[in-house]
Structure 1
């Protein structure tokens, strides 16, 4: 088993004496690529908030620097990626995220995972999938690699596969970060299982560091605080990565619509009619274009209309929140905190089990940092 101070998978960073955050990845797609690159890119970041380079919100969080993150295991079902070192697999097609860091050999082979429902109809022609691993195989790999936090980057709609990896994390003694819209952290059964095991859990459906949901939510909140009543709203998305191709399956898109809507409204009571749509536009690559429309009613019943367009690299915008989440979950693991870690889920997820305001999130994260 890899010791917590191992430097075998440092992302090209010279190891430091002391505890590390050993991260496993399920699904070596664009988000995994941006995460692996991000650890390398920010490894030499300063330790103060005032020295943080662009894009990095917390040089040190919950006692861990970015350079403390190690990749120790990775799972995929695409035969174009399995067997490769993680540093090579992140560039394999159909991945198309932007390259912004050179990643040296990591010594972390991408292990064949479990297929289950991880590949949808729309994406099946782009992926040569196998996925014959059993639950026991995955548990064994997590234990042997010394993984602390398992990150779920499976495609939208992979409910059964998500639960399989959540079970593997439980049996291997890992924290679990569910970055997709599958119901894990929101499930009383899974929340109780992780609580009973004394293992941290956070989900569901990762927010971008600055994305359409965050901006949409901010607009809805500021209008509500100023007395504007929403009549209707929509969010239309377009992108050319595998996530958008996968969302062309209506049954898979349904889970994304549910978490997106929860992300826009949070725990508020009254909700205006809302629509979320996503189109696959191949030439956009990993760029995401979002159109947001809000119709409201202001003073004297007068109409208010907002139309907004934003464009952002999809995967790098997601990776920043994962950098924060894995460090917080490792801190929770260090302290024996089991079950859903509500401040982490509320901070980085569209559909956390419990909605917390900014002050509550900040207080919860401070408590993790202070021990």
Structure 2
């Protein structure tokens, strides 16, 4: 295989969801020169010449329990303003190719297969994908809807952990862009430690928590004690429906609150509330209300409003992670990559402040460049 023929697989868990569809369509659009790579950190100057796979070399596939074809899913996203009108038809061939590589996920209700049987089946799908497409390596990224945290007495692995275990068995690098358990199940600890593969994070940082990771260090650096920090999220789409489940919402909120506790030294008063508003579709509004003390005890308030499209915020980060993990795998790196904490609410160690995480990421890019 020549250098120019090297192809890298990107396998999405939740491959027909909004985030995966946006990432797949967006990659095709950028590769064709139809749109600039807005939001892709790996397309900025510090990441040139570090050996990342080009966007034109990425081959997409995945698992999903839904059967809506990707081209139709993309048309729905365009109708909702997530994708530019006309883009689904412009990249229709690429979407159809990716759709042909999507395999049934699970387990669905009534599935009698054991955990081991499911892991074996999912791993076989990954191995077949790599073999047929002559891939040098594959990165598995979980972008499925948030699942509730498993009960302590549950003797079955959650779906996210089944997919994660299959990724390791198939020799694939892995990232978990959701708050779901994934590789962090205690039952997978031995497999994770022995796998010899790079993996990263949990729960992508795209909006409200991104802003929190910028603002919280400001209060610390200016010696302004934070008394309370409360937030509300209004969102629709698949995430809104999934997070209407209190157990799933609790898993999501844990990451949002962890950023504040890690940065401020302790969690301030206040909670994050998530409301499902189906009419909002793939768009989200996040409000934060921050109470803090100023000089001589003067009490002050900072309020922020973040309005955005989660899929469009997440998709470029997903493409970044796919490229960085593929390069890390090629370079022989193994284990949790704390250097990719810039992308996560719940990273594998490292600093909590965004500026420090970015500096760590830049240093990591330098290591990859030096290792070429």
Calculate the TM-score normalised by the size of structure 1. Answer: 0.81
Kept in 2, the 8 Å contact 1:185–1:340? The answer is no
CA distance in 2, matches of 1:320, 1:72: 15
Secondary structure of the structure 2 residue equivalent to 1:167: helix
Question: Residue 12 of structure 1 corresponds to which residue in structure 2?
Answer: none
- Quote the Cα distance in structure 1 between the aligned partners of 2:129 and 2:312: 26
Aligned equivalents of 2:83, 2:322: Cα separation in 1: 22
Match of 2:192 in 1: 194
- The structure carrying a bigger helix percent of its residues is 2
Q: Choose which of 12, 22, 45 in structure 1 pairs with 2:9.
A: 22
1:225 equivalent in structure 2: 221
Q: CA-to-partner distance for each residue in 1:131-182, whole Å, 9 max, x for gaps?
A: 9883222111100111610111121125511100011001111111101102
> Structure 1: how far apart are the matches of 2:219 and 2:243?
30
Residue 111, structure 1, aligned to residue 74, structure 2: no
Q: Deviations 1:233-263 (Å, cap 9, x if unpaired)?
A: 0121111111011111111111001011123
Name which of structure 1's ranges 260-269 and 287-296 shifts more when overlaid on structure 2.
260-269
Give distance in 2, aligned partners of 1:253 and 1:206. 15
Partner residue of 2:119? 135
Partner of residue 365, structure 1: 365
Highest RCO, 1 vs 2 (Cα 8 Å, sep ≥ 6): 2
Cα distance in 1 for partners of 2:364, 2:139 equals 19
Unaligned regions of 5+ residues in structure 1, if any? 6-15, 118-128
User: CA-atom RMSD, angstroms?
Assistant: 2.9
Partner of 1:10 in structure 2? Answer: none
Quote the residue 2:133 is aligned against.
none
SS in 1 for 2:42: coil
The answer as to whether partners of 1:33 and 1:97 remain within 8 angstroms in 2 is: no
- In structure 2, C-alpha distance between the alignment counterparts of 1:69 and 1:293, rounded to whole Å: 44
Q: Partners in 1 of 2:283 and 2:144 — Cα distance?
A: 19
Q: Secondary structure of the residue that 2:271 maps to in structure 1?
A: strand
Aligned-pair distance for 1:185? 5.3
Report SS of the residue matched to 1:367.
helix
Q: Scaled by the length of structure 2, what TM-score is found?
A: 0.81
Q: Cα 1:23–1:54, aligned 2, differ >3 Å: closer, same or farther?
A: closer
Q: 1:55 to 1:361 in 2, by over 3 A?
A: closer
Distance 1:242 1:115 in 2: 18
2:310 equivalent among 308, 314, 317 = 314
Partners of 2:370 and 2:186 lie apart in 1 by 28
Runs (5+) with no aligned partner, structure 2: 131-136, 150-157
